[in-house]
Structure 1
Amino acid sequence: MIPLAVDATPLQVTWFILIAVLWIGYLVLEGFDYGVGMLIPFLGRNETEKRVIVNTIGPVWDGNEVWLLTAGGATFAAFPGWYATLFSGLYIPLFLILFGLIIRGVSFEYRAKRPETHWRRAFDRMACIGSFLVPLLFGVAFANFVIGLPVEMSTVNPSLHVVTTGTLGLLSPFGLLGGVVLVVLFLFHGANYLALKTKGEVHARARSFSLKVGVLAILGGAVFLLWSNLAYGTGVIGWLLMLLAAAGLVVSWLMGRAGRDGWAFIATAATILFVAVGIFVRMFPAMGFDNTAVPGTPLDITTASSSELTLTIMAVAAGIFVPIVLAYTAWAYWVNRRRISEVNIPTDAPEPAAV
């Protein structure tokens, strides 16, 4: 990615920041959902324990996904050039992400529809696979945004840009590392959330797993952050965010070891926040694209933007509805703030039939 001299308007910069905020909210909130989804088949030893694990995210997982939908809609409306260029060459990765989201959502909605053991195990595996596939692909994608996706002018329409790399081109060592690290980080985040939200055997297993996967998150995160800043750094800001993210991982592990589940969860959330902020700082103003091969008009927040009128209307709508969404989200978490265990699962609920 090459430096760009950008004469962006305040609204264009504001909407880039707002889209970054939406993505950060999605990664922080849905991050523990993905971690919990991956852990359902492994930390739940019987149906009651698996129901405890599912119930920790049951009231919030679909609401957390709204952040992704809003981020995609805001990108389409505020920066249609950004949206269109991503879809020009990344259909397969985006289709796989959609597939992972679908099977994950279906698994939560349908696992309790029938009592047979094989039925529920199948949907638990679907939840695990979907919760693994989505962060893996997003991690690869964001790592490639750090590198800069190569683009060039379209031969069909010279006013449009297209991504020139294919799906296999995304799977560079750095891209794969980004995917694996995000999966491990979400596992750490999800285990901390389970430890915070449960009691009894599930809590003990979640805390034990968190301490183990936390070591991998610290080591993998250190490699990714150092590589990112040494090869594609953004100067002092990048190094500061890297140190804050690394500190968050270490603090989370230490707090988990001390039994401070709340602080451990907050620290992993802060880590995700600092890493995501660093990525979006790197993406500004070229939005994660490498314009080296683009003669004339590069792709950045000015050339990919909607009109000022559109951005103004969107700003008014956001000013009205975003506080409402935040208030509802805070209320939902407050209502479901207590820990749960096997004793909270109704005893009159039929156990699954063995097959």
Structure 2
Amino acid sequence: MDLGTIWFILWGVLWAVYFVLDGYDFGIGIIRPFFSKNDTETRIMYNAMGPFWDGNEVWLITAGGVTFAAFPKTYAIMFSSLYTPLMLLLFSLILRGVTLEFRSKVDSAGWRKLWDVCNFLGSFLPALLLGVAFANIFMGIPLDQDGILQGNLFTLLNPYGLAGGLLFVFLFAHHGALWLAQKSEGEVRERALRTAGKLWPVVAALVVLFLVMSWFMTPLFNNYLLHPALFILLLVPVAGLLLTYKYRREARPLASWVGSALLIGGAALFGVFGIFPALLPSSLNPAWSLTIENSSSTPLTLSIMLGVALVFVPIVIIYQVWAMHLFRHPVTQEDLDYDEAY
């Protein structure tokens, strides 16, 4: 296996890990206006993601960094052609981070309500934008031979792109409800499990709809038809969908959350392997697509990067496992009374 292919796989894995980890943060923010009955419950939701959200965003930075260093031409064209949606994504993520830090700084109901609205927008918009962006990548973006987008933001808001956006929103909302159930107790925990139960049929329907639309509207299945053994990848999200249902019915939120993680990560990898070897397929002409061959860095650069990744990625994983273990307990009143609590 050549270095370009290795980095393509790592690129896909990093995005999948990011969706799994930051997905539950987005999900908690998305369901909060419809779930929380009072300020105490709102604070439980903030503190359920508080120790983890910034560490989870490391994977976004890593995925972006890999795109920049391993596939610089793809990075350049992505950030020029998709400038508007990427800026909206960036500002939304900044808004969410500011919300988490500022909400508790002033003892005022109006102040907290303002930042709660910002938190919802900073969670909903990234989920929607990421779904729209990756759906369009799977379908193919109208790039010409110079890598210039033939269209605008509204070109990306096509039926398939919007279906991807809705899928991400509900996937993350379901994922966040399960994480909240794991990180809470009593009535909040039970209601979070019920919320996940209400969201599951919607997620299942959107998954089926997206796969059907992918079959008719994209070349996503071409690689799988050429190499049928790859269809085994589809078993991962399908198994995740069924497992998350099974374990939620058994009131095992952590096991159900792991099933949801398999669903999200498996779905992302299914799409990434479907577009291989392209990173940004062109819907105008496949020859204008940005691929491993025409956009990767030199072999020396890729080799050095691989060595660095083999050293530092395990360190990041160890840190996050340690953090999740350290803060594994449900959020209690004692946690809310802590001076540094959200």
TM-score, normalization: structure 2?
0.92
**3-state SS of 1:34 partner:** helix
**Is the CA contact 2:143–2:289 (under 8 Å) kept in the aligned structure 1?**
no
Tell me how far apart the structure 1 counterparts of residues 265 and 286 of structure 2 sit (CA, whole Å). 32
3-state SS of 1:163 partner: coil
Q: Which amino acid aligns with 1:176?
A: L
User: What is the CA-CA distance between 1:250 and the residue it aligns to?
Assistant: 3.1
For residues 302 and 32 of structure 1, the distance between their equivalents in structure 2, rounded to whole angstroms, comes to: 35
Q: Residue 175 in 1 paired to residue 161 in 2?
A: yes
Choose which of 275, 298, 301 in structure 2 pairs with 1:310. Answer: 301
Where do 1:313-332 residues align within 5 Å?
Answer: 313-332=304-323
Question: Structure 2 counterpart of 1:180, which letter?
Answer: L
- Aligned residue among 72, 75, 94 for 1:83: 75
Q: Say which SS state the counterpart of residue 152 (structure 2) adopts.
A: coil
Worse overlay, 192-201 or 26-35: 192-201
Q: Secondary structure at the match of 1:115?
A: coil
The one-character-per-residue Cα deviations of 1:262-295 (angstroms, maximum 9, x if unpaired) are 2211111000011011111022111131275376
- Taking a change above 3 Å as real, the CA distance of residues 119 and 298 of structure 1, as seen in their structure-2 partners, is closer
Kept in 2, the 8 Å contact 1:49–1:342? The answer is no
1-side partners of 2:207 and 2:98: how far apart?
Answer: 31
Report how far residue 298 of structure 1 moved. 5.2
**Which sections of structure 1, spanning at least 5 residues, go unmatched?**
1-8, 155-160, 351-355
For 2:195, which of 209, 216, 237 is the aligned residue?
Answer: 209
Matching residue of 1:144 = 136
Q: How does 1:1-355 map to 2 (within 5 A)?
A: 10-154=2-146, 161-231=147-217, 232=219, 233=221, 234-235=224-225, 236=228, 239-290=231-282, 292-293=284-285, 299-342=290-333, 344-346=335-337
Aligned-partner residue type, residue 68 of structure 1: L
Residue 119 of structure 1 aligns to which amino acid in structure 2? Answer: W
Decide which moves more: 161-170 or 133-142: 161-170
Question: Following the alignment from structure 1 to structure 2, what is the Cα–Cα distance between the partners of residues 314 and 348?
Answer: 41
- Equivalent pair of 1:202/1:341 in contact (CA under 8 Å): no
**Counterparts of 2:35 and 2:216, CA distance in 1:** 38
- Normalized per residue, the structure richer in helix is 2
- CA displacement at 1:229 relative to structure 2: 3.5
Report deviation, 1:319.
Answer: 1.5
Whole-Å separation in 2 of the counterparts to 1:243 and 1:175 = 24
Task: Go from structure 1 to structure 2 and tell me whether the alpha carbon gap of 1:187 and 1:267 turns closer, same or farther (over 3 Å shift).
Answer: same
Change (3 A) 1:345 1:318: same
The residue that corresponds to 1:353 in the other structure is: none
Q: 1:147 touches 1:288 (CA, 8 Å); kept in 2?
A: no
Amino acid at match of 1:135: A
Does the CA-based 8 Å contact 1:152-1:294 persist in structure 2? no
> What is the aligned residue count?
335
Q: Which amino acid aligns with 1:221?
A: V
Separation of aligned partners in 1, 2:32 and 2:180: 10
| Cα offset, 1:342, TM superposition | 3.8
Who is 1:158 aligned against?
Answer: none
State the match for 1:3 in structure 2.
Answer: none
CA distance in 2, matches of 1:349, 1:19: 35
1:162 is paired with a residue whose SS is coil
Contact 2:18–2:56 under 8 Å retained in 1:
yes
| SS in structure 2 at match of 1:213 | helix
The range that moved more, 60-69 or 42-51, is: 42-51
TM-score (norm 1): 0.89
**Structure 1: which amino acid aligns with 2:179?**
Y
- Deviation (angstroms), 1:198: 0.7
